[in-house]
Amino acid sequence: MRYSKLMSMRKKKEKKNKKLPLSMVFLPEELIVQILSLLNVKTIVRFKCVSKSWNTIISDPTFVQKQLKRPPRLILTPPCWVYPMHTVQSLPVTRLLENPSITLSGDFSHDGGGFIDNCKVVNSCNGLLCLIFCSDNKGYHNYWFRIWNPATGTRSKAFGTYHDYNLQLRGLRFNFGSEAFASCYHDYNRRRSLLGSLKFAFGCDILSGTYKVVEFCAKGDEENKYGPWRSQVRILNLSDDCWRNIDSFPLIPLISPFNNGVYFSGTIYWLAIQNYFYPFYAYGPITHVDQFKIVSLDLSTETYMQFCLPSGFDEVPSFQPTLQVLLDRLCFSHDFKKTQFVIWQMKEFGFQESWTQLFRIDYFNLEMHNLPIEHDFPLLLPLCLSENGDTLILSYHGDDEAVIYNQRENRVKKVRISGKLCRFSSYGESLISTNWK
């Protein structure tokens, strides 16, 4: 009797449990957070609409910060100076490494913005792209900025709008040693002294969490064409959309599309050349490697520092050297006698002695046999380094191929890309909001 009574009670309990709705199934919040953290950003964004509690979890600043360490991606743009926002693509590094024998295309964002105005990618920070837009009017340009998160498909309102006179020369090439160079340079410098040389960088003040845009303008002296240039630096805080002047640079950074400034850990770094008065990189006028310096701007304190380059960097390179960030370390790369490509890494921030040589690669091993003659651009741009430090991804100037070099096996693969690889290093997708107000 007792046994049958127990069985009867058990059956009633099982029958009652079967009637429980699925919504009553309970998962601990810690487990939900762990599961969500394994998904890609676009999927996480879709899950915001599952419930209010999930939306709260995904919107929590702590969860957002945890998503910053995502698998790296590369940015692809059309092969031109400016382009519509919707043409910007991203390419997962894993796809590049796993499919080395075919032509690869990037992924278009599910919301490219729909803007017909031309833009240019300034650089990336925390999965956000800073874009500068421009439009032509009679005698001047309109400029403005937007911040875009390709992973979430969100974009900021236009900010930082200003006007500048359209006096830039386009397509000029200079021939050192010729009589034409002097007159071309005088005209070029005269016009640049009116317009100045505008460069922009984007990054985060890590103390306040505020994002900032830095504008650098170098101007020549109209009275002394070959005299020293002067600099003007302005910063725009995205939370108040207001430009303000700060102290000038201690040195004039190298004026180049390939050295616009590198953001890393709350600081922007520029490559500079002392006692150098040309608006482009030129091998001839640089007499010693000691002229090369690194200038940094801390976005929290808005103060500058100067750093020396590696002591092993002992000869002026034929091609323009560059700065980049690889594996969360500041790196410096340069040509050596048109025979080798060298990459140095600063192991400890600010310590000259911590420079360590990462790569020294023969161009022959990279299957580069006919090097160009020009000297005003970097020959190779390092973009990404694998976690184990063995595999390096580079872009070759003027080519639509990515160069994949495996140091351990001394092996090279080239992958054709249906787009232009951006000069800055890889970025990771994030949930960072583009709403600053």
- Report the range of poorest mean pLDDT among 64-78, 150-164, 183-197, 271-285: 183-197
Last residue of a domain, one of 42, 67, 92: 67
Question: Do both 326 and 356 map to the same domain?
Answer: yes
Q: Which residue, 272, 300, 285, is CA-closest to 199?
A: 272
CATH number for position 368: 2.120.10.30
Domain membership flag for residue 1 = no
Question: Do both 108 and 52 map to the same domain?
Answer: no
Number of domains in the chain: 2
Question: pLDDT tens digit string along 139-169?
Answer: 667 789 999 998 888 899 999 987 765 444 3
What domain range is 54 assigned to? 28-67
Token output for 339: 């025979």
pTM, whole model, 2 decimals? 0.82
Question: Do both 234 and 123 map to the same domain?
Answer: yes
Question: Do both 62 and 72 map to the same domain?
Answer: no
Amino acid 24: pLDDT? 53
In eight-state DSSP terms, residue 95 is H
Mean pLDDT of 238-257: 84
Question: pLDDT tens digit string along 375-386?
Answer: 678 889 999 998
Question: Do both 96 and 231 map to the same domain?
Answer: yes
Question: Do both 278 and 370 map to the same domain?
Answer: yes
Is the pLDDT confidence value at 178 over 50?
A: no
Amino acid 275: pLDDT? 79
Question: Do both 40 and 146 map to the same domain?
Answer: no
Q: Which residue, 426, 348, 315, 433, is CA-closest to 70?
A: 426
Domain membership flag for residue 33 = yes
Q: What is the rounded (10 degree) CA torsion for 118, 123, 125, 130?
A: -20
Question: pLDDT tens digit string along 394-432?
Answer: 988 766 788 999 999 889 998 888 778 887 767 888 999
